[in-house]
Amino acid sequence: MKRLVALLTLIALPLWASPPAPLERFQFDNIDGGEIVLSDYAGQPILIVNTASRCGFTGQYEGLQALSDRYDAQGLVVLTVPSDDFNQELASDAEVKEFCEVNFGLDLPMTGITPVLGREAHPLYAWLRETHGFAPRWNFNKVLIGRDGTLLATYGSGTRPLSRTLTRAVESALAGS
């Protein structure tokens, strides 16, 4: 009987259902030292953005900070992941941190410089590629993960942090729907 119930449960799941992210598996080096462990944000929506300091979209840092400021008290986490996969990042974590603080007053959680593509991709980005077919096409691609660890949406570089599309998705994620 238990097998039948389990089988019926699997059949009843919508085909588009996204398996939750195994957040406990994903941790990043923190640009400030130590680690950023995604399971510490369990129950909160997380917007993860691969970034670069010398990109035409670098001005989006300002919008990411504003998005965080607007929704942080409601539980949104905006995590920036500097990456040099598109050859537009500064040479060191220290340079990236200083650049973001001086130019944008950034106080968002930030990883160290991290690969997001190919064989060297961070395990989160490898999971996104393997499970959802998503890999960043450029800097400032955005991944929205819901409170339950479900991938809610991905956005390209052209989606501005304060765009209606993204803010509506964030508000829906915060509402838990």
Distance between CA 148 and CA 11 in Å, rounded?
A: 21
Using only C-alpha atoms, what is the Rg of the chain?
Answer: 17
Query: Residue 168: phi, psi to the nearest 5?
Result: -65, -45
Residue pair 20/150 in contact (Cβ under 8 Å)? The answer is yes
Dihedral over alpha carbons 39, 82, 111, 67 (to 10 degrees): -60
The neighbour count for residue 26, using CB atoms within 10 Å, is 17
Measured distance CA(148)–CA(86) in Å, rounded = 31
18, 29, 39, 55: the catalytic one is 55
From the CB of residue 124, how many other CB atoms can be counted at a distance below 10 Å? 24
Sign of the C-alpha dihedral, residues 85, 91, 92, 93? negative
Q: Which amino acid is at 102?
A: V
| Whether residue 100 lies in the annotated active site | no
Q: What residues are annotated to the active site? A: 55
